[in-house]
Amino acid sequence: MPDVTLDSILDGRRSQPSQIIEVLQDVQEHYGYVPEEAMRAIAGGLGMPLMEVYSVASFYKAFSLTPRGKHVLKVCTGTACHVRGSKMVLNQAVGQLGVEPDEMTEDGLFTIEHVNCLGACALAPVVTENGTTHHHMNPGKLRKLINALGNGETEENSND
């Protein structure tokens, strides 16, 4: 997979293992995930074992080792969201999209993730879509959001 973009990401950082997080962030931003081929190139470029690159990439939830959909729906399952019904919200997403958490729909539009906390407990239950927070979520609101996103609508022009 080494290409001009990966070379440019590594440019100025070669043989600097301390740059691992920044390099992984740039790779994730460019590809949408961290491919195995990119981890191999990063290991070689930064002068560190592949296992160390994999350890960092797999440790942090911010990095995905598999392709993700255009719309990444993160469902908070922390305590405040849990007691306010996040399990039903997660079940709605799984049922409507037909994929389990950390899987991508066949059309490449959606990935569902569940996270331990999004830091918005007063707004529970919370779902984020590519960083946009949707608060006081329930199965019906999530169904409408998924339909709107699937139809290419944004939050501003959907009928929530």
Q: What is the 3-state secondary structure (H, E, C) of 63-108?
A: CCCCCCCCEEEEEECCHHHHHCCHHHHHHHHHHHHCCCCCCECCCC
Q: What angle do CA 90, 143, 131 make, to 5 degrees?
A: 65
User: Which tokens go with 42?
Assistant: 């990063």
Sign of the C-alpha dihedral computed for residues 54, 59, 60 and 64 taken in this order:
positive
pLDDT beyond 90 at 128? yes
pTM of the model: 0.78
Contact between 127 and 72 under an 8 Å Cβ cutoff? The reply is no
Instruction: Supply the pLDDT for residue 3.
Output: 58
Contact between 51 and 84 under an 8 Å Cβ cutoff? The reply is no
What is the tens place of the pLDDT at every residue in 62-106?
A: 899 999 999 999 999 999 999 999 999 999 999 999 999 999 999
Give the residue among 50, 9, 15, 61 at the shortest CA–CA distance from 31.
9
Instruction: Supply the pLDDT for residue 4.
Output: 61
Contact between 145 and 152 under an 8 Å Cβ cutoff? The reply is no
